[in-house]
Amino acid sequence: MTYLLRRLAVFPLVLIGVSIVVFVAIRMVPGDAITAMLGTEAGLLTPAQRESLAAYFGIDQPWFVQYGRWLAGLLHGNLGISSTYGKPVLEIILERFPLTLELALLSMIIALVVGVPAGVFAATHNEKLSDLGVRIAAMIGQSTPNFVLALLIIYTLSAGFGVLPAMGEFSPLWQDPLRNLGQLILPAITLGFAFAASVTRISRSAMLDVLSDDYVRTARSKGVSARGVIWRHALPNALIPVVTLSGIEFGYLLGGAVIVEQIYALPGLGRLVLDAILQRDYALVQGAVLFIAFNFMIVNLLVDLAYVALDPRIRLGEQ
Amino acid sequence: MRMLQAIFAHPSGRIGGFIVGLYLLLAALGVLGLTPHNPLMQYRIDRLHAPDSTYWMGTDLFGRDVASRLMMGIGQSFIVAFFSVAFAALAGTVLGLAAAWFGRRWDGIVMRVMDVLLAFPAILLALLIVAVAGPGTWTSIVAIAIVYTPIFTRVVRGPALSLKAREFVDAARTFGSSSSYIVTRHLLLNLVAPLTVQITLALAWALLTEAGLSFLGLGTQPPAASLGLMLSDSRNLMETAPWLMIFPGLAIMISILGFNLLGDALRDIFDPRMRRAIA
């Protein structure tokens, strides 16, 4: 437990560190937010207009004042105003987050539904041809970058079937669930593919380990059916590393899949950050990156908690 | 030599080693400019030419030879991957060893800074760094190096801490060996195995990240070729000229596969107990 307490104690420290890194980094970007927002028209601003805009976005102050203000705002749930959208940053992030969350969940479901049975199958057919087939497929899956797969999927659909993935205006789940699923299924398959491959590899190896354990042999000798041994006795224990891996991958996906969102024209968090960086929208980059890092840290902490909960033998404090 | 034999005795080592060797050769030829055609030359009369005996992988929208550009791109990707992993491995090893050896406050500071860097999803941190420094080859190298330094620091620190507590280190101290001698001779030498495995796997990630950054237009800049950029440019021509997408896509995939296979084989060779667990 001491390990988890230590993790919790360090959590705010790391978060402050993250905020400083983001804050300093974004201010080192050449060019200023006003020029980025107005483009060539920024040249038409009078010095007074420029100053008043800088004061409105708070970028006329020294950096430590800006950081202090931002941090104070943060504690009140105020992440500032986006210079590109003219709206509160938190509002924009929360508009984009449901898509990213849904996409991450769908990808994880695909990965688990495909990966766990594939891993169990390979483990129970160890060293047979079918095991080799699963292992090769998993290795290839793990080595396929999601943007290569996305393009391959789009190409196959358009060249083979004359259809294009549903793009255009994105419809949220609660407005039109069917259309929403239609828009998200291909991106989810794209992201779930390599994820499934990792799940397959780890479930296979965990299953192989567990199957050679004494208690499995005991269950077998007591006459429990092969299926019962695999699904009731071995699998629950083999799932521990799968939970860890899935949690970490899920945390990554919550950060938004920058490239996949770009290819499928999805307005998720990843694209929001990319666009904000390109637009030099300071407040938005800061807020979004901090939000993503916060989620990532929370998910990692939950994974650790799950790890302890699933396997009471683990004394993380001793490691 | 024994290492090479061990790699070739291992099935995935054989395939991975072959792929990596082939890519190294292509990358070297690409960097030296020994390509079938000039990768920057625009053969305007042969624009979007399908693959044939003159242009093995066809030509692009500007009439440039795809095979030659692919070799140039592989060279480019490998330069970024090798330099970034070299920097990350070096920085991570120094920081990890320092954290383990000096302990206490130094360990605390180094590891908290690494925690901060690890709190960012990798591609996001790379994007942020590229945004600060502007796109380009060197920026990609620095960005990828910074992203992977914490991983190397962790890989080194853990084993270094347990090695530090071993009897032979105490013995070396009693014999009056200097700290630097113990760290390089006793700690570092014993870390070669985990570092080699990590370097091979990191090369696969570095290739992937480089391709991703270039795909977003934030890595290698045109007219130089890079696999990610070629793939990104192929998007609008996918139906008329699928070779523009298929060859760079396969090239990225197979290079990553090669390093993953080699990394797995090395892990098996260095740690036979792990053999079944990661197969």
Judge whether residue B245 has pLDDT over 50.
yes
Task: Answer whether 0.80 is exceeded by the pTM.
Answer: yes
pLDDT of A173: 79
Listed by start position, the domains of chain A span 15-86, 91-315
Q: Which CATH architecture has domain A91-315?
A: Orthogonal Bundle (1.10)
pLDDT per residue, tens digit, chain A (319 aa), is 577 777 788 888 888 888 888 888 877 776 666 776 676 677 777 888 888 877 776 777 777 888 888 788 888 888 888 888 889 999 999 999 999 999 999 999 999 999 999 999 999 888 889 889 999 999 999 999 999 999 999 988 888 887 777 666 777 878 888 888 888 999 999 999 999 999 999 999 888 888 888 888 788 788 888 788 888 778 888 888 898 889 889 988 988 788 999 899 899 999 998 888 888 787 888 889 889 988 888 888 888 888 777 766 655 444 4
C-alpha closest to that of A105 among A194, A202, A192: A192
- Round the average pLDDT of chain B to a whole number and report it: 88
pLDDT digits (tens, 9 = 90+) for B21-75: 999 999 999 889 888 888 888 888 888 888 988 888 888 888 899 999 999 999 9
Q: What is the DSSP-derived secondary structure letter of residue A31? A: S
CB pairs A-B closer than 8 Å: 132
3-state helix, strand, coil in chain A (%, to 5): 80, 0, 20
Looking at residue B190, which CATH number applies to its domain?
Answer: 1.10.3720.10
Which alpha helices (H) appear in B119-178, and where do they start and end?
A: 122-133, 137-164, 167-174
Interface test with B, best of A136, A143, A211 (most B CBs within 10 A): A143
- Residue of B117, B123, B130 to mutate for A, most A C-beta atoms under 10 A: B123
Q: In sequence order, what E strands does A245-316 have?
A: none
Domains: count for chain B: 1
Report the residue of chain B nearest A154, measured CA to CA: B238
Chain A hits for B231, CB-CB cut-off 8 Å, are 147-148, 151
Contacts of B92 (CB under 8 A, 6+ apart): B148, B149, B150, B151, B152, B153, B154, B155, B156
Both tokens of residue A138? 């998993």
Q: Tokens 């084993």 map to which residue? A: B159
Domain of residue B91: give its range. 1-276
In one-letter notation, the amino acid at residue B118 is L
For residues B277 and B279, give the distance between their C-alpha atoms in angstroms, rounded to a whole number.
6
Those residues with Cβ within 8 angstroms of residue A53's Cβ, 6 or more apart along the chain or in another chain: A34, A45
